[in-house]
Amino acid sequence: MRVNINAVHFKADKKLVAFINEKVVKLTQVFDGVIDTEVSLKVDNSDTRENKIAEIRVAIPGNSLFVKKQSATFEESADDAVEALKRQLKRYKEKLKGPY
């Protein structure tokens, strides 16, 4: 699985990139058909403290899943996004199996 991390308008430090890589790689434990993962990190220009946005797009055979989460830190946003993707992947996997 290929993981691409983009930090928009800032430079992500190595610890953040390593943290996100570690979290995203765990998606293959839920569904091993993950082809590609693209993570975008952005800072929202709002006055609130929760202005860190993590968007994750996961390519799977014949489909693409997308999650956008916003919180106070990039780590928290990425963690929430990965958890949401795990739920989506489990649902997708159940759909593939069918009712049998």
Tell me the C-alpha to C-alpha distance, in Å, between residue 53 and each of 10, 39, 64, 86.
13, 10, 19, 18
Beta-sheet strands, E only, within the chain: 2-7, 36-43, 52-60, 63-71
Taking a C-beta distance cutoff of 8 angstroms, is the pair 64, 57 a contact? yes
pLDDT in tens, 3-46: 999 999 899 999 999 999 999 999 999 998 899 999 999 998 87
Range of the domain at 53: 2-97
Number of domains present in the structure of the chain = 1
Asked whether 5 and 22 are in contact (CB, 8 A), the reply is no
What does the mean pLDDT of the chain come to?
92
74 touches 15 (CB < 8 A) = no
Please report, for the domain that includes residue 82, its CATH number. 3.30.160.100
pLDDT for 98 equals 74
The pLDDT score that the predictor gives to residue 47 is 80
Helix axes 14-25, 74-97, angle to 10 degrees: 20
Share of the chain above pLDDT 70, in %: 98
**54-78 mean pLDDT:** 95
**pTM of the shown model:** 0.91
